[in-house]
Amino acid sequence: MSPLERELRDRLRKIYVDGWVYWKDPPDYMERIERQVEVLRECVSRCLGCTATVQTTPGDINDYYDIECPLTSGFPESRAELDYDQLEQEGPAEYFQLLLSTVAPVVAGVWHRFFIRDGMRQHEMFDFLSEEWFAEHTEHKPMALEIIRKAEEQGLTVLGWDITLLPADKDWPLARLMPEDPDLRHYLFGGYYDDWGGIVKPVRDTF
């Protein structure tokens, strides 16, 4: 186990098992995160040449901020607003998404591609430093490295799927809508239950 993985597991156990009220330690914890979000939103906009917007904020089951920007001109600010007809006529549509956790000083980047195949909407996801993505988008690699540099300047660690897709500890409690066998991502970015890397884990119906 890497030192980073051990540090994250210890922190998550302290929060989810021991009940540590992390958002009050220090008192300006959430204000600090809000400042980080704005710095990163501006950085994503500048680096990728798009208008990045915050699409998700903490609340209810969500423990993360979601910064998104369309990489394909003419498409909505949020991938959640993609229209089937527009995608069929003008697609594929590509998006970048940066997730900032509120439970740990970490971020994760995801590249998205949406298109229509055989009448069905398709969704592909790629890790932030995916060589497969960069092979098709060589201009994005230096941009990604600059976003990482800016995140690290803010005291944040950028995580890849080698960490986020690791299984969570078996004795951690399951939150509402978590799958039965959650990964670290489900605790680091609570409420974000997309199919990272094509890995779909059905959520439990616990309303």
Dihedral, CA atoms, 177, 183, 184, 189, nearest 10 degrees? -30
- pLDDT (tens digit, 9 = 90+) per residue, 159-184? 999 999 999 999 999 887 788 889 99
- pLDDT (tens digit, 9 = 90+) per residue, 35-51? 999 999 999 999 999 99
Distance CA 34, CA 21 (A): 18
Q: Which residue has the tokens 């993505």?
A: 133
Tally Cβ neighbours within 10 Å of residue 107: 27
Distance CA 193, CA 203 (A): 8
At 193, the pLDDT band (50, 70, 90 cuts) reads low
- pLDDT (tens digit, 9 = 90+) per residue, 58-106? 887 789 999 999 998 888 888 888 888 888 888 799 999 999 999 999 9
Q: CB under 8 Å to 98, separation ≥6 — which residues?
A: 40, 44, 52, 66, 67, 68, 107, 108, 109, 110, 147
Distance CA 36, CA 70 (A): 21
Distance CA 86, CA 157 (A): 36
